[in-house]
Structure 1
C-alpha cells in the first residue's frame, strides 16, 4: 500500500464507528479492519478518528465537541457518512462557525466507495499525525518555558487585564514579597506595592496596556512582613489587545540602590572633602592623575583640566627637599603606603607645606590598579612647630631659669639654666613642685598672695630667696605668668627667675660706697676745709698759704666727686619706659638759658628748631649740664664760646634719630679720657680723671642712644648725643619731663 506512514505500517490507528444500523456498521468495519483497529462500541472512546453516521450526530455531538476541546491542539478528526438523499441536517466543514474547533472535519457520501473512504480517512489521519507532532513540540516549548519561568532570578507576575488579579507567578516572585503562590494568586497586585506607590503602580499598568510595554525603576514593594524593597520593573502585554494580560518582571534593586547612594555619597564626600584627593593610574606612562577633587583645585590653584594627565610632581620646586620625594618614590616602587611632608608650590608660585599620603588600591587579585593620594596644607602647623622649636631653643639657651608647672603646681619642664642655678637635674625636678627650691625666707602670706594673683589670671612679680640643692641661698627676681587654653581656662604657669644675687650685692656695695663718699668723705672734707681756713689765718708766709690753697682746691674737687657719685647711684635706680618721651628742643633751650645766666662771660649759641621729641626723661638734664659745664669750666679761652644744636640726625635715619651737638672753642677732651670712654672700662694704667663723661655715657646708654666725639678744626671740638626719635603724639602718652 502506497502513501502509508511509518506509524501505519508499525502500529495501526484506532477508528471508532458511530453508525446507525448494524449492516452499515458491519460493512464499514470490514472495509477498515485490514488497515485499522476498528471499535464499534456505542460509548465514545479516545481513538485516532471517528466515523459518524449522519443520524448519530445529534447523539454524540456534545461528547465529540468536548473530547476535541480536551485534546486540543491535537487534531482528532470526525468523518461524517452522509446518507443518500440527506437534506443537510449536519453542518458541513464549510458551513460551521468559527467558535472553537469544527465538529465535522470531512464528509463522504453513502453508499461509500472503498477507495474514497481510505483516501479521506488517510488524509485525516495524516493531519492528525502532524498535529500530534506539533503538540509534542508545543508541550516541549511549554515545559521549557515553565522551567525558565520558574528558574528566573527576577520576580515574574502575570496580571489579569483588569489589573486586579495575579494569574501566575514564579518562585522568585514569592521570595520577593514573602507570600506563597496561592496567597499571591488570591491578592490584588497593588497589595504587594507600598501604599505610597500604589496609585502610581496602577497608572503604570494602564500605560503598559495602552502602549504594549513599559519600565520603571522607582517603585517600592512591601513584603508580607512589612519590609520595603526597591524595585526595577519592566512590563509587556501578552497580546495586541487593550484587554491583554500583562507580564511583569520585577528585580529587587534595594542593595544596588543603597550601593549607588553610598557610592554617590562617597563621590560627593571626595569631591567636597576639605583636603586634596587625587587618583593616579600606574599602568599609564608616568602615572598621571586621572581624578582630582575640588579640594586639590583649591589647595594648588590648578583646575581639573590643568591637573589631569600630569604627574603630581609638577607641584615641586626649588625649595622641595629631595628626601621626602625619594621616600615617596621608594614606597611607590614597593607598592607600599607612605606619608611625607614637603614644600610644594601653588599655581601662583606661592609655597606651602604639603602633607602627602599615598596608598595603593588593589583589585581582587591583589594587583595594584591605582594610587590614591591625600594632600593637606599643614603650613600653619609647620610654622607653629618651627616657632615652637625656636622657642624651645630660646628657652633652652635662655640666661634665666625657666620652669613650667601645671595648674596644681607640679613641674613639667625646666630649662638647663634652672638645672645650673638650682642644682636639680631635669629628671629630679619634673614631677616635683617648686617647694624643692623653697628657702623658708618667705612666709605663708607671701605664697597666699602669689596663688591668689596667678589663679585670677594676673602676672606675679616678686623678689625672693631660693635655696639650691646643696643648701646655698640665692636671690631671684621672679615672674609667674598664667597660661590658658582656648576656653580661657588656666592650665599651666610659666615661671622665669633671674638670679640677682650679685646685683643685690653690687647695690649694697654702691649704697655703702655712696654713704662713705657722700657722708663720711663729705664730712671729712668739711673738717679739712675748716681746719685749712684756720691754718691760713694763722700763717703770714705767702708760700705756706699757697699750700693751704692747694689743700682747699683738692678738698673742693673731692666734694664735687662725692656729689657726682650720688648722681651715678641715682642713674640706676629705675629703668626707662619705652613710652617715656621728652621735648628735646624745650629741654635744651631751658638748660642753655640757665647756663647763660650763670656764666655771663661765656657766649652761648642755640638754634631754636621746631619741637623734637626723643626717648628720654629728666636725667637727660644731667647730661646736658655736665657737657655744658665741661665746655665752660675747662675752657682756656678768654671768652668761652659754646654752640648747641638740636636737629634730626644727619648721619642716621632722620625719621628715627635726633642729634644734640655741643661744640666749644676750648682745648677739647683729653685723649686718654676719650680712649677710656670708647673702650668702656678703666685700667690701672688707663683711667679717667673724673665721673663726668661716665655719667654722660651711662645716661645716654639708658635711652638706647649713643655718644660720639667730634674734632672739627673750623668749629672746635665737642660731643654729639644721638637719641631715638619719638612722635609728637607719643609725648601725650609718655612721662612729662621736669626741667627744673
Structure 2
C-alpha cells in the first residue's frame, strides 16, 4: 500500500491528544458537565498500542464501549465508529469501502487521527475513505463531540433503516393479506359504517364468483342481494346486529345477479379504530345451498322414519297379532304359517328398533354444546344401576380412578353417557351367554383427557361392522348396528378417538375424549 496521508509510513499522533493544560485542555466541570454514557454504542480504536491509544480509551470510555485492535478481521464485526491512526489507516484503507458495502444502507463512520503537519496531505486522498479527519492535538470535548456526531448519524441511519424495514414488512404483509382476501374461497366484503346504509368499498374475487357482482357494486348496501323470498326475521336480525355494532352469523336466502337464489352463510363483524369507534363492517359469504337441501332432505327422511314407518310397523304388528289369534281360534296347526307370522313379527320389531336407534342418534347429536360439566363418578354408577335392573342376569363391573383424588371426574362431552349406555346395552343384548359380563373402566389420560373402556365376553363384533368406521359404508359393506355409529359420532364430535378390539375373549370398545372440547 502507498504512503499514508501524512506522507510517512506510520507517523503516530502526539501524546497531546487533548492537549496539555497550556494547549487548552478542557475542564469537564464546565457548563453541561461530563457526557452521558452510551453503553450501547461501540467505538473501535484501530490503533497501535501506545500512549495516544491509552488517552483515547480514557477519553471515550466515559461514554462508549471502547475496544482496541489492529486485527483486520475486527473490521467485519459490528461497531458504531472506527478510529484509525495514520499507520493503521495506511495498512487497511483498502478494506474500508468493502466494509461500507457490507453495512449498506446503514451509515458506518470512519475517523482518521493525523498530526498537525499531515493535515494538508491527508486531505488529498484520505477523504475518499473516511468521514472525518481530526487534527492532533485536540481537546477532549471537541473529540467527543465529533465522535458523538458521527455515532448519532449512524444511530439515525439505523433508525431509518429499521423504519424502512418495518415499512417494507408492513407493505409486504398488507400485500399478502390482500392477496389472501382476493383469492379466498369465500366471499369477502368491506362496507363503510353508516346510519341507514353501509356502502361497499371492497369485494374480493370470491364474492364476484358467488354473486355475479364485483366493483360495480361499490357504493351500494349489500341488501341488494336480498329478495322477495328472503326471510323477514333474518333481515331484521341482521339489521339489528349492525345497528347495535355487534357481530352476527345467519343463514339467509340471497339472489345472484342473474336472479338465481342461493343459501348464504353470512357472517358480519364490525371493524373498530384505536378509539373503539366502528369504521367499517367486514362480511364473509359462503354458499351453503347444498347443505341446506341436504338438511331439508334429512328432516323429511327423519319424519318419515320416525312417524310414518312407526305407524306402518304398528299396523303390521297389530294385524300379525290378529292373524295369529284368528288361527288359534280355528285350531289351525300349520307350522309354516306360524313360522311366517313369527318372521313378520320379528322383522317389524327389528324395524321399530332401527327407527328408535335413528331417533336416539338424531336426538343425541342434535343436542347443543353445553358448558355444563358431567360428573362421571356419579353418572356411571347410576348407569350401572339401571343396567342391573334391566338385565338382572348380567354382571356389571365399574372401575373408576382413585375416589380419594381431589380432582373430580368431570367432562363436557355432549352425549358421552348415552354412548357408554349404548355400548353396555349392546354388549348384553348381542351376547348369547345367559350370564354375560360387562366391565367398564375409566382412567385419566393426563390432565386433559378421559379414557373409557367397555369390555364384554361376547362373540365379538363382526369385522364388517367396524371396517365401515374407517372406510365408510357402501351397498355391500355396511353396519347393521347403528349403535356403533352413535358411539363413533359422539367421540368424533368431541375431537376424541374411538377404537374397537375384538378377540376370542370378547370385545373392547375404547372411547378417549378431551375433558372440555
Return the TM-score normalized by structure 2. Answer: 0.67
Q: Unpaired runs of 5+ in structure 2? A: 1-30, 47-55, 80-96, 112-122, 132-149
For 1:507, the equivalent position in structure 2 comes to 295
Matches within 5 A, 1:388-403: 395=181, 398-403=184-189
For 1:176, the equivalent position in structure 2 comes to none
CA contact (8 A) 1:664 1:716 kept: yes
Find the partner of 2:511 among 721, 727, 732. 721
Matches within 5 A, 1:67-216: none
Return the alpha-carbon distance in structure 2 between the equivalents of residues 639 and 385 of structure 1: 74
Find the partner of 1:693 among 477, 484, 487. 484
Alignment size in residue pairs: 407
1:439 is the counterpart of 2:200:
no
Q: Which protein, 1 or 2, shows the higher relative CO under an 8 Å CA cutoff with sep ≥ 6?
A: 2
Name the SS for the 2:339 alignment partner.
helix
1:709 is the counterpart of 2:506:
no
Find the partner of 1:554 among 347, 364, 369. 347
Matches within 5 A, 1:244-259: none
Deviation at 1:510, TM superposition (A): 0.9
CA, structure 1 residues 563+445, in 2 after alignment: closer, same or farther (shift >3 Å)?
Answer: closer
For 2:321, the equivalent position in structure 1 comes to 533
CA contact (8 A) 2:76 2:99 kept: no
For 1:564, the equivalent position in structure 2 comes to 357
Deviation at 1:639, TM superposition (A): 1.1
For 1:237, the equivalent position in structure 2 comes to none
1:407 is the counterpart of 2:197:
no
For 2:338, the equivalent position in structure 1 comes to 545
Return the alpha-carbon distance in structure 2 between the equivalents of residues 460 and 381 of structure 1: 34
Matches within 5 A, 1:285-684: 304-306=65-67, 311=75, 313-314=77-78, 339=105, 356=106, 369-370=130-131, 372-373=153-154, 374-376=157-159, 395=181, 398-408=184-194, 409-425=198-214, 427-430=215-218, 432-442=220-230, 450-539=238-327, 540=332, 541-576=334-369, 579-609=371-401, 610=403, 611-617=408-414, 619-649=415-445, 654-679=446-471, 681-684=472-475
What is the CA RMSD across the aligned residues, in angstroms? Answer: 4.4
CA, structure 1 residues 542+448, in 2 after alignment: closer, same or farther (shift >3 Å)?
Answer: closer
Matches within 5 A, 1:36-55: none
Name the SS for the 1:469 alignment partner.
coil
CA contact (8 A) 2:465 2:481 kept: no
Deviation at 1:574, TM superposition (A): 4.7
CA contact (8 A) 1:403 1:496 kept: yes
Return the alpha-carbon distance in structure 2 between the equivalents of residues 692 and 441 of structure 1: 40
CA contact (8 A) 2:43 2:67 kept: no
Name the SS for the 1:495 alignment partner.
strand
Name the SS for the 1:305 alignment partner.
strand
Return the alpha-carbon distance in structure 1 between the equivalents of residues 374 and 456 of structure 2: 25
Deviation at 1:279, TM superposition (A): 9.9
Name the SS for the 1:314 alignment partner.
coil
Return the alpha-carbon distance in structure 2 between the equivalents of residues 311 and 411 of structure 1: 57
Return the alpha-carbon distance in structure 2 between the equivalents of residues 663 and 462 of structure 1: 44
Name the SS for the 2:431 alignment partner.
coil
CA contact (8 A) 1:410 1:430 kept: yes
CA contact (8 A) 2:234 2:252 kept: no
Q: Unpaired runs of 5+ in structure 1? A: 1-260, 283-290, 292-296, 316-328, 340-355, 727-733, 735-740
Deviation at 1:432, TM superposition (A): 4.8
Residue-by-residue CA offset, 1:248-272 (whole Å, 9 max, x unaligned): xxxxxxxxxxxxx9xx9xxx9xx89
Deviation at 1:533, TM superposition (A): 0.8
Larger gyration radius, structure 1 or structure 2? 1
Return the alpha-carbon distance in structure 1 between the equivalents of residues 279 and 107 of structure 2: 34
Return the alpha-carbon distance in structure 1 between the equivalents of residues 436 and 173 of structure 2: 59
